[in-house]
Amino acid sequence: MNAAFLPLIAIVLFLLGLRFVGGLLDRAILPPGPSPRGDPAAAWLFRSASLSGGTTVLGVAVAVGFGWVPGFLWVLCGSLLGGAVMGAVASRLGLGRELGRAMGGLLGDRYQVFFGAIGSVVLLGLSAVLLLLVAQLLASHPAIAIAFLLQMPLAWLATRWLSGAWWRTLAVAGGVSLLLFLAVWAGGYLPVAFSGTVDIRAGSTRLVTLDASLLWMMLLMVYLGVSLAMPASALGRARGVLAGMQLVVLVVALLAAVLLFAPPVLAPQFYAPAGNPGELPWLFVLVSGGAVAGFHAWIALANGAQPGTRMSYSVHLFDGLLGVLVVVACTAGFAGLEDWQSIYAEWPAPDEIGRALEIFLFGAASLVGDWAPAELVTALCAFILASLSLTTLEAALRGLAAIYASTPGGAAPDSVPRHIMPPLLVALAVVVLAGGEGRGGLWLWPVWLPVNQAAAALFFLATAAWLRREGRPLVSVVLAPGLFLGGVSLWALIREAISQWQAGDFLLFTLCAAGASLVLGILAEAGLAIRRSRQQP
């Protein structure tokens, strides 16, 4: 099959969804709201960068192991009817303002408990995974280190010009991004790499091995401490706008290469690698970024400048387009079927999932390789993924600060309060080191993925209860995906708990059982809330 058909199909469906589903949300579910304040280009770029991080590439690249058809269809359906709807509703309601106050009265104190508990699990797990992915990209691709470090001061200097007129935002973001791309090229001649390892021991017991990835994690933690202590408008938002512009360049370059060269899809339509956990239900929890993910709701909470409903819908559809291009890169960017099968012959262990990024980088370099050297394309893509992942990481930590520093549903603080910063970073460090050698996020991956989708179910079900109480139509638009994601999450957690019990890993079994109990509580509480909402005027 010609790979060019996949993004073309996605673009047509996404445009139709933007026209009809986005308009439906504007007219029927939500009342007309005020126009977005501020620069729409900056808001769109920042929101895109906050969502389209390494999680989109990681989840889709792993899910391609089931074949290209399941991942492609779920990205389309999840984006159109799941993630994009959730993002649009969250944007208009402010998720944490109007909806948060309504849910506080509708679901009661238990909602506050569920909101805080599941939000903490999702955002901490997400932050640990992203911190590791950024560090691994910097350690594996030393050519990007100079550009990655240079973007911090450049973003700070460009802050005043990355707002206001949309054309000025695009011009400045494009110019600074070009400068950073030149720095990536120069980094090929001046790489920044750390070599060797150091074992930190307590007596004869090895506590942790300090290698290049862990050293980069420590440096990133220092940066996060500085950035989060500052107002988001001082550094984090400007750097996110730059990352959003780089994302646009990545998507346009990949799309142009696919449409121009029209490579064939080499992967089979359906595939079952050895040791895979089962296409059902894991496909629906694995492909979260790029389709629908619970952390998207908390990213919306942390994002102070919300774009309008239809604009927010387009942001999630753009994330879905990135997911489709990842499918293409991981299925058409190989020399032949044998090469693809050699890479996807076995399902990766949790601590090996990070190598899916390298599969995407290899495929992307193969698609665009006729325009530039493969080494340069690989470095540029790695730099963009690292920048996007850091933006999502910062937004996730600001969402955590909102949970800890205010009532659930309160607005995220512009800067993280001083009394919140130490426990926030300590909690992140504990999760990161839980699995040893900084891989705690990937060690918890089988638990985090279903809980992440359960968080999406919580948002959909709470919104359905709120809409029913307000007497607004189309409750099924948010109720159906909520029930589906809740059931899939519970199914995945029960299966994983059984697997961990059989494997003798009683710690992960306990975590899976606790997650399943949390999901059951969410479904039960939401059901009671929807039932009560029918009786309220």
Q: How confident is the model at residue 198 (pLDDT cuts 50, 70, 90)?
A: low
Determine the distance from the C-alpha atom of residue 9 to the mean position of all C-alpha atoms in its chain, rounded to a whole number: 23
- Residue pLDDT, tens place only, 333-364: 887 888 898 889 888 876 677 788 899 999 99
Return d(Cα 262, Cα 211) in angstroms, integer. Answer: 41
Return d(Cα 7, Cα 324) in angstroms, integer. Answer: 6
Number of H helices, E strands in the chain: 22, 2
pLDDT of residue 520: 86
| 163-181: average pLDDT | 89
Instruction: Look at the pTM and tell me if it is higher than 0.85.
Output: yes
Is residue 96 pLDDT above 50, yes or no?
no
- Residue pLDDT, tens place only, 238-278: 899 999 999 999 999 999 999 999 899 999 998 888 877 77
Share of the chain above pLDDT 70, in %: 80
Alpha carbons within 13 angstroms on the beta-carbon side of residue 385 total: 31
Q: Are 425 and 490 in contact (CB under 8 A)?
A: no
Determine the distance from the C-alpha atom of residue 171 to the mean position of all C-alpha atoms in its chain, rounded to a whole number: 27
pLDDT of residue 106: 47
CA pseudo-torsion sign 56, 61, 64, 66: negative
What are the Cα distances from residue 452, in Å, to 200, 485, 490, 504, 525?
33, 10, 11, 24, 18
Is residue 150 pLDDT above 80, yes or no?
yes
Return d(Cα 340, Cα 308) in angstroms, integer. Answer: 41
Burial of residue 448, with CB atoms counted within 10 A of its CB: 0-12 exposed, 13-18 middle, 19 or more buried: buried
Is residue 426 pLDDT above 80, yes or no?
yes
